[in-house]
Structure 1
Amino acid sequence: MRAFAKCVARAPYHAVPHSSLPSPHPLLQTFAGLCRHGAFSEAIAAMASLEVLGLVADSISYSDLIKLCVRHGAVEQGRLLHRHLSSGGRAPELFLSNSLMGMFVRFGLADEARKVFDAMPVRNVVSWTTMISALTNLGQAEEALRLLISMQREGIAPNRYTFSSVLKACLTSASLRSMHGCIVKHGLESDVFVRSSLIDVCSKFLDMDYGYRIFNEMATRDLVVWNSIIGGFAQGGDGYMAITLFTQMKKAGFFANQSTLTSALRACTGMVLLEMGRQLHVHVLKYNPDLILNNALLDMYCKCGDLEEADELFDRMPERDVISWSTMISGLAQNGRSTDALKLFESMKVLGPKPNHITLLGVLFACSHAGLLEDGRHYFSSMRQLFDIEPGSEHYGCMVDLLGRAGKLEDAMKFIADMSFEPDIVIWRTLLGACRVHKDSNLAAFAAKQVLRLEPEDEGAYILLSNIYADSHQWTEAEQVRRSMRDCRVKKEPGRSWLELGKQIHVFIAGDMSHPQADGIKKELSKLLTRTTAMGYVPDTDFVLHDVGKEQKEESLRYHSEKLAIALGVMNSTGAKPIRIMKNLRICGDCHTFAKLVAKSESMTIIIRDPVRFHHFKDGSSSSPSA
């Protein structure tokens, strides 16, 4: 064409009649029109005819056809197009090669995308980024990082999209920090998009101190960055920091979106901050809440122990998925409403989606805590038969708990022995707890040894095993257990309890009297102990080492974190609202009894959530028969 153009330029105008100008082949015009108007099948057929005639269409038409292949999910036609563009030893233009790579990546054909990439004589930042992103998404982190190095060696500077992709390939906190240095080197440290990705990866490694440092270094922030930092802290379990940042975001003039509210609700759920959760509910109502937000709200109300609001929300939801049903079933079970949970499950089988493994976990939990042994056995055996769900360790753990609570310790041991996989520490701890309740010292000793085999620093198992031996007058064995405990330098995670009063969270650690109102709390606790003792309360010292004196045992129990939280709650109670307390460890039997009697003596409702379930105390009764 260039030669023809030069010829035209040299010749007199009349020497080249209009009729003698070369016109495009009719098939090329047809092909272009078919691609442009989305006639996919006809365009593929026309491409085959071009192949036969040795014709090559324009790049725009081929680009349109690649998009059509992606839109139709046409893998084989995409391969035909690739072969056509590469026939005769030709190399497709750069932007077409990039489009072909993108097409194969969308089809999940990373190997074929790599063949296109390797055959390219010239590559730009889009080429490298597409391939790096594909490798990262496939979990080929080392190869993705190797390509990043090769890219820079070839003189191609990574851009914001390259780094946001390759950051996901960082497998350790150290590699993340090294990548941060690379980002600074390329002058992208102030890019909001890149910093947001950095913070997201920090949350994956639970390295939110580093993520917060990155956040604080930013001169400007947008909603994406705020969402990343709030979501990171919420996901990492630091709900207090997530809520603090949410408040700062609002003061900075940013309006929350679905992502922000979902993270903030998750933070409230983890910290049992019901009042803050209710304030977030008001924000949610402004957005015409969708399924994701409604599910987050439902989870928050269930895990904050407000089943009335959860019931109403569930009934109002215009759309429910398996998460909605499972959340409500588990919420009812964890709050002591096992019968309602099982009724809802029966409704789900008729009206709702197909149950999943989480649904059945809630069902088995309900059976376990209601003592419904035969129902539990039925639901467990039906998992494979009716729902095609393979039971996991959590489901087996529920069955061991169900058998243990029913006093069927030999059946529980046989059930564990018949499991197709190695029992985990949760299953052995569950059996150990049942042995303690039913005073089976021989089986308890065996279970405790299994716990210590899997986790040599489990203080609870050491103490219980020592006490079992002491009860049996096996003093040598008891001393050996205590010596092992000292030799391993076992440290117990301190018990923590917290409650929300107004807009402030009050945290208590067992035995720590550093709270600003410590004197008032001590006085209130003394009053409560006096009243409950008159009602029959006797400190339960079974879980305190036997070689500690009686007075020391009782003193140790007196200042358990939940007792301190109860005392502060009673001091500030109006009687209208329940006292809601969160614990990081399971509530002990002594505090369970104490809370039940305080609720009766003070005519109030106390709700304590531990890592396993909610305990609702009212009128001297409890939603849970024991700790």
Structure 2
Amino acid sequence: MIGLLFQTLRCRSNFRIFSATIPGFGSLSQSKISRINNVMHASRLSVAQPQIHRDNVSFLDISEDIYTLCKQGKLTEALHILYEMDQQGIWLGCRTYSNLLQECAKLKSVANAKLLHAHIIGSGDKTDIYIDNGLINMYSKCGDVMSARLVFDQMLETDIVSWTSMIAGYGQNERNEDALKLFCRMLCAGIKPGLFTFTAVLRACLSHMAFGLGKTVHALAVKTGMELDVSVGNGLVVLYAKCMKIEDARQVFEEMNERDSASWNIMIVTYAQHGFEKEALNLFCVMQHENITPTHISFVSILTICASSGALQEGKQIHAHIIKKGFELHTFVLNLLVTMYSKCGSLDDARNMFDKMPERDKIAWTAMIATYAQNDYTKEALELFVQMQEADMKLDEVTLATVLTACGSPETLQHGKEMHAYMVKVTVEPGIYGENALVTMYGKAGSIESARKVFDRMQNRDRISWNAMIAGYWQTGNDEEALKLFQLMLQTGMELDHITFTCVLGACANLEALEWGSLVHATIIKVGCALNVPASNAIITMYAKCRRIEAAQKMFQTLSSRDLISWNAMITGYEQNGYGEDALKFMCQMQRLGMKSNVYTFISVLSSCASLAALEQGKQVCACIIKTGFYSEVSVGNTLVTMYAKCGKIEDSRMVFDKMANKNVITWNAMIARYAQHGYGMEALRLFEEMQSLGIKPDQITFIGVLSACSHVGLLDEGRCYFNSMRCDHGITPTVEHYACMVDLFGRAGRLEEAEEFIQKMPFPPGALMWRTLLGACRIHGNIEMGERAAEHLLEVEPRDAASYVLLSNIYASAGRWDDRAKVIKMMKDRDLKKEPGRSWIEVKNRIHSFVTEDRSHPQTTDIYAKLDDLMSKIKQVGYLPDMNFVLHDVEEEKKHYSLCHHSEKLAISFGLISTPSGTSIRIMKNLRVCGDCHTATKFISKIVGREIILRDSNRFHHFKDGLCSCRDYW
């Protein structure tokens, strides 16, 4: 019938058929005919004035039939009866029209709606406000909000329902700004909002993020008492949460007299989405305590929180509740349980859940594959992928992209390439999701060229595409390319997020590009990501690596929310910038606040202890490591090996090494390097041979340690053999560091001409490291002529390296060429370069005591100087003679002698002797190379006091005992 009507009414000439088919348009006024034409305009329908008369008759049973048909969804049949009644001049009442309006709204049929509206207009004076409100609701739900507003504007009388229906209609059709404007007009008209009005307006405020108007609505709701209603309260909670006003949301929630399960779910989801995991879990517990039955939404939110925060025990408790409430039968809940267990690191539980699933959908398979992929179980992920294929499960882009994530390492790159080929073979056209996965996989696997090829071929790129490519460059050390790509991304107008900023800031940190990093920081503030914790942590790391520790600290202090990474970033920053004591203090503060340390915390703090030679504090940190269960971590063991060795306890270092159940090449490298640093060259070489016998392949770092060991003990021929074997026996191309080790080996042995010739024959231009090494050797052996040549080359490469000027000035001073020394010092002043002062320090009772030459700032200065004067007197009696060549100032002999006797090393030793028990070892650290006179004096002191003195300078360790040094004066 409706189809016939539409066919008939396509042109004006068919009106006679229209009027014959649908009676009831008797004696209509011209204005009514005009209204009908307006309504029918969208369907190209119009009417002229018919000459049919009707009587107003109502039959309850016929209305009931129409009502029943509407309930059954049989709108066509209901309209047919209505037309038949109209033909007989029977009026069926407003209720009948209301039912038909509601049915049109359900079917979202604009065409039927306009036909029905035309009937209503043609029914004479029987329409009322009830029918008009129904028309507004019908048109709104059919998506024709303009017609709804036309009805609203033509109403002679409106009520609260009219306004609310129109406001809700705007909201339903995403015309939120119009909804809010109409609400303001409603208030100005003096219409008191009702419950549904508040609900509709809050939805519009939410979509439009109109926080200010939302507060006004809240105030009106309080004034009218509506805020106590569950639906209004829930709307306010959602609005405040979306506008990042979490405290306001919780306050509304607490003040609600009645809460339904939706209220609790909204608040739990709010906490979950904004990173308040603990609060969400607590609220879930309170919800159960108040006997509110959780819904699947509750469990989804809580399981997601447990997964993101690694709360395995809480997750297991939630699992028990899910079983109790019968939700375990839902496949999507089982999928979430698999994900939760996997992200909490409990792969066995995840696989157990997967195996118990009565039916596995594509999501379940993909979730389990992702579980293995995210935990680096590549083999298991690929095996499961094969099983998925065998189960005739349809593959899609998401599943294939998940498998690709398992191949994101150099070792699994070949598998990734095979998966890429498989995607092409089975003609799975990768969309943007699959292409992004390919870019990410190739980037993480180190095949950055392949990643860029995929990226360049992409016709449509989103933010994830750009982030993946920038991350690939950053992770493979192509930091400059990462910044260039970031510039291109900015030019496209692509939206930036915290992942973008984290990668770009990481590249800035690696390049120590402070200016770039500062600009990125400003951009973060501009786009509103400054409050994001990952971005803030990246800013801290960037400033720390750019040696702007004050800026890093300032950023840390401004953080309203800090995670473990924030604390670790500051601790690492302090350690890398030489503020070891601050790093230790920061860890103590972190522990007092209840923040748990992880592997990275302990590694940074142990490195600080190593730098400071803070043995006792290092032991305390080691005790914490054992207590927290991180002792078995290979990276922690490697750091402990280094820490004990740098604190002078090479025996303890070897003990840790021997006890490690798992060792990697870094472990062996650390022990070899530490033996070399302590002057135990033969032990280092024996360890190298043992390493090879166990089938552990040495790398470039290994040979730096081996060559250093040869250099420190003068094994010239052995050093040559090891250097040549790198390429021949191990396929390792020597780098600039290896060539520098050989120059150092020749230099320490006094073979300066051979060292210079070796530099000239290198396969690449010598850099600053090479010339600095040769210059140091010239300083040791007093070769002024070669030292000047080396310094000339060095200053060409690094004109602002203060250490180079100091080395050259020291050469001139040792030779008594004070005028030349003065010229070098003047050059430093003219270029605003400052010499790093020599500083020695010692740890006593967990405190670091630091000294410079002729230092009188220590509280025990009087005792220190008295003890030192006594020592100098005694060692002179047994043969010590001050070596004035190590006084680097042109002063009188008496002044030279006084300065030489009060070098920082001697002051530190004197303090150690009066502050530590008799018979214990004394450990002294120095930031520069120990001077020859102090080296000689310390040998005599060790003999007369009968104590071992361990001195670590910038090059190596010296173990003084019974008047001898472990270096055998070869240093």
TM-score greater than 0.5 by the shorter chain: yes
Letter matched to residue 499 of structure 2: Y
Shift of 1:202: 2.2
Q: How does 1:480-495 map to 2 (within 5 A)?
A: 480-489=820-829, 491-495=834-838
* 1:462 pairs with 2:808: yes
Aligned position for 2:499: 161
* 1:227 pairs with 2:568: yes
Q: Distance between the aligned counterparts of 1:590 and 1:312, measured in 2?
A: 34
Among candidates 490, 506, 510, match of residue 853 of structure 2 = 510
Per-residue deviation, residues 373-423 of structure 1 (Å, max 9, x unmatched): 222222222221112222233333333333333343443333333333344
The answer to whether the 8 Å contact 2:788/2:808 transfers is no
CA 1:314–1:162 in 2, change beyond 3 Å: closer, same or farther?
same
Among candidates 577, 587, 590, match of residue 920 of structure 2 = 577
SS in 2 for 1:411: helix
Per-residue deviation, residues 38-61 of structure 1 (Å, max 9, x unmatched): 6659969x99xxxxxxxxx9xx84
Letter matched to residue 596 of structure 2: F
The answer to whether the 8 Å contact 2:486/2:504 transfers is yes
Aligned position for 2:690: 347
* 1:412 pairs with 2:755: yes
The answer to whether the 8 Å contact 2:436/2:464 transfers is no
Shift of 1:212: 0.8
CA 1:450–1:543 in 2, change beyond 3 Å: closer, same or farther?
farther
The answer to whether the 8 Å contact 1:40/1:68 transfers is no
* 1:143 pairs with 2:485: yes
Shift of 1:282: 0.8
CA 1:480–1:308 in 2, change beyond 3 Å: closer, same or farther?
closer
Shift of 1:257: 1.1
Shift of 1:622: 0.4
* 1:269 pairs with 2:610: yes
For the pair shown, the structure with the greater C-alpha radius of gyration is 2
CA 1:127–1:268 in 2, change beyond 3 Å: closer, same or farther?
same
Q: How does 1:206-245 map to 2 (within 5 A)?
A: 206-245=547-586
Aligned position for 1:91: none
Give the CA RMSD over aligned residues.
Answer: 3.4
Aligned position for 1:17: none
CA 1:143–1:605 in 2, change beyond 3 Å: closer, same or farther?
same
Shift of 1:291: 0.7
Letter matched to residue 730 of structure 2: F
Letter matched to residue 383 of structure 1: M
Shift of 1:216: 0.7
CA 1:547–1:97 in 2, change beyond 3 Å: closer, same or farther?
closer
Q: Distance between the aligned counterparts of 2:564 and 2:823, measured in 1?
A: 55
Aligned position for 1:564: 907
Among candidates 655, 663, 667, match of residue 320 of structure 1 = 663
Per-residue deviation, residues 283-304 of structure 1 (Å, max 9, x unmatched): 1212142111111111111221
Per-residue deviation, residues 239-264 of structure 1 (Å, max 9, x unmatched): 22211111110111112111111111
* 1:532 pairs with 2:532: no
Among candidates 938, 941, 944, match of residue 601 of structure 1 = 944
Q: How does 1:344-383 map to 2 (within 5 A)?
A: 344-383=687-726
Letter matched to residue 822 of structure 2: R
Aligned position for 2:819: 479
Shift of 1:590: 0.6
Letter matched to residue 147 of structure 1: M
Q: Distance between the aligned counterparts of 2:776 and 2:518, measured in 1?
A: 44
Per-residue deviation, residues 328-370 of structure 1 (Å, max 9, x unmatched): 1111121122221121112112125111222222222222222
Aligned position for 2:598: 257
Q: Distance between the aligned counterparts of 2:624 and 2:609, measured in 1?
A: 14
Letter matched to residue 591 of structure 1: C
Q: Distance between the aligned counterparts of 1:560 and 1:532, measured in 2?
A: 16
Aligned position for 2:961: 618
Aligned position for 2:273: none
Shift of 1:546: 7.3
The farther-off stretch of 593-602 and 164-173 is 164-173
Normalised TM-score (structure 2): 0.54
Normalised TM-score (structure 1): 0.81
The farther-off stretch of 179-188 and 439-448 is 439-448
* 1:76 pairs with 2:428: no
Q: Distance between the aligned counterparts of 1:491 and 1:165, measured in 2?
A: 35
Aligned position for 2:355: none
Shift of 1:214: 0.9
Per-residue deviation, residues 456-515 of structure 1 (Å, max 9, x unmatched): 653443334434764xxxx7xx63453343244264321011111112111112233212
The farther-off stretch of 287-296 and 175-184 is 175-184
Letter matched to residue 193 of structure 1: P
The farther-off stretch of 166-175 and 233-242 is 166-175
Q: Distance between the aligned counterparts of 2:401 and 2:420, measured in 1?
A: 11
Aligned position for 1:194: 535
The answer to whether the 8 Å contact 2:452/2:469 transfers is no
Q: Distance between the aligned counterparts of 1:61 and 1:10, measured in 2?
A: 41
Q: Distance between the aligned counterparts of 1:538 and 1:404, measured in 2?
A: 27
* 1:384 pairs with 2:722: no
Shift of 1:603: 0.9
CA 1:136–1:417 in 2, change beyond 3 Å: closer, same or farther?
closer
The aligned length equals 569
* 1:97 pairs with 2:435: no
Among candidates 529, 543, 560, match of residue 886 of structure 2 = 543
Larger RCO, structures 1/2 (Cα 8 Å, 6+ apart):
1
Letter matched to residue 421 of structure 2: E
Shift of 1:224: 2.1
The answer to whether the 8 Å contact 1:606/1:616 transfers is yes
Letter matched to residue 735 of structure 2: G
SS in 1 for 2:717: helix
Where does the alignment leave 5 or more consecutive residues of structure 2 unmatched?
1-72, 78-360, 370-383, 407-414, 444-449
Q: Distance between the aligned counterparts of 1:352 and 1:522, measured in 2?
A: 55
* 1:175 pairs with 2:516: yes
SS in 1 for 2:886: coil
Letter matched to residue 502 of structure 2: S
Shift of 1:623: 0.9
CA 1:484–1:431 in 2, change beyond 3 Å: closer, same or farther?
closer
Aligned position for 1:92: none
